[in-house]
Amino acid sequence: MRREKCFRFTLLLLVILLISEFSFPALAFAEESPLPEAVIEVPPPNRRLELYGEGELDWPCGVPFEDPGFAAYDSDGADRSGDVRVEGSPVVWRVGDYPILYLFSENDGEFAAARRIVHVVAQPLPEINEPPGGTICLTFDDGPSADTAYLLDILAKYNVKATFFIVANHSKNMDILPRIVAEGHTLGIHCYDHRSYEYLYKDMEHYCSDLLTAQKIVHDYTGHYAHVVRFPGDSRTASLLAGTLTGKYPELYDTLADMGIRAYDWNVQPESATKDTAGTLEQFTHPREPYEYAVVLQHDTRHFSVAAVEKMIQWALDQGYTFAALDETFPEIHFEE
């Protein structure tokens, strides 16, 4: 009996369905076509959290992160953007995918949340070009200083382009940075804070935070990020990152490459055995062998050294050398071993 009832009920249902399909074509039509948008649109609730910019975005490795922003409104529609809790931030010196969570909760325990994914992507690093024989790259560390403007005047007089590896926490002389860039020199980074090497090279995070702080300052002054660096100490000192003073620390160079950066030690050091102008000039103008590709270390914080530059340039031009500012296409020089 039960089976029969069940069968009858199913049959009845089928009949109703068939009738509705064939007798009410308007109903079938309504199911297949979407209603006009104006009808189904539901006004958003007042409590909401909106992200500005893309919910998923690519960010160049080595560029300090700036969140595109967000806005939050409570259930009364009041702006509560200042109460948003942001969890997570991209490690911009390490290629990878980083979620950022934005949370806004009200007294009633209800909340609005949004999530953004930041893909930190490697920057392109151009191929190396061998410079022509007899290229001299003058480089100046530890500035800018009170002597940097004078040095720029000398360089301009001979149309010589040079490279400045700056210490970015020199608040007094930083106004010269736009001039360095405008006159065609390369602005490179030495560091933000020339502090103890143990601190700077404690781990990648310490080194990269210092570098990124310097990058932000360089960008604030010039609108550009640096693509060449010189390690405080030298590349052997930077091997402290690996817990040793010898050997190259591959992660450091891979990380810099992801940022589109190359690092340069030097192969000519005219200040090395002297503390005066004549000695600096003497060393520079008496190389053991003619210069092929010379990366010359000087400091624009050393007055005696800056005072030697004009005569150094005159001598080199007389000898037929050419000057160039470094960029990331020049072969790297490292004392790693």
Terminal CA-to-CA distance of the chain, rounded, Å?
95
CB of 80 to Zn ion, least distance (A): 48
CB of 273 to Zn ion, least distance (A): 18
Number of residues in contact with Zn ion under rule CB under 5 A: 2
Taking CA atoms, 17 is separated from 6, 11, 14, 24, 104, in Å, by 17, 10, 5, 10, 48
Distinct helix (H) and strand (E) counts, the chain: 12, 13
x/- contact string, 44-83, with Zn ion (CB under 5 A)?
----------------------------------------
CB closer to Zn ion out of 194 and 219 = 194
CB of 191 to Zn ion, least distance (A): 8
x/- contact string, 93-132, with Zn ion (CB under 5 A)?
----------------------------------------
CB closer to Zn ion out of 142 and 300 = 142
How many CB atoms sit inside 10 A of residue 21's CB?
11
Provide the residue type at 272 as one letter.
S
Binding of Zn ion by 271 (CB under 5 A): no
CB closer to Zn ion out of 239 and 316 = 239
Provide the residue type at 321 as one letter.
Y
* Bridge partners, 104 (sequence order): 112
SS3 assignment, position 49: strand
List the interface residues with Zn ion, window 288-327 (CB under 5 A). none
Tell me which stretch binds Zn ion (CB under 5 A): 38-46, 138-146, 208-216, 310-318. 138-146
The size of the chain, in residues, is: 337
CB of 141 to Zn ion, least distance (A): 5
* Bridge partners, 115 (sequence order): 101
CB closer to Zn ion out of 75 and 169 = 169
CB of 232 to Zn ion, least distance (A): 5
CB of 100 to Zn ion, least distance (A): 36
Binding of Zn ion by 328 (CB under 5 A): no
- Residue selected from 142, 234, 258, 310 as contacting Zn ion according to rule CB under 5 A: 142
Going 11 to 12 to 16 to 19, the CA torsion angle's sign is positive
Binding of Zn ion by 141 (CB under 5 A): yes
**178: its two tokens:** 């736009």
Neighbour-count burial of 82, counting CB atoms closer than 10 A to its CB (0-12 exposed, 13-18 middle, 19+ buried): exposed
CB closer to Zn ion out of 62 and 143 = 143
CB of 211 to Zn ion, least distance (A): 14
CB closer to Zn ion out of 90 and 144 = 144
Going 64 to 87 to 95 to 93, the CA torsion angle's sign is positive
Measured distance CA(63)–CA(68) in Å, rounded: 14
The CA radius of gyration of the chain, in Å to the nearest whole number, is: 32
CB closer to Zn ion out of 100 and 162 = 162
Which residues of the chain form contacts with Zn ion (CB under 5 A)? 141-142
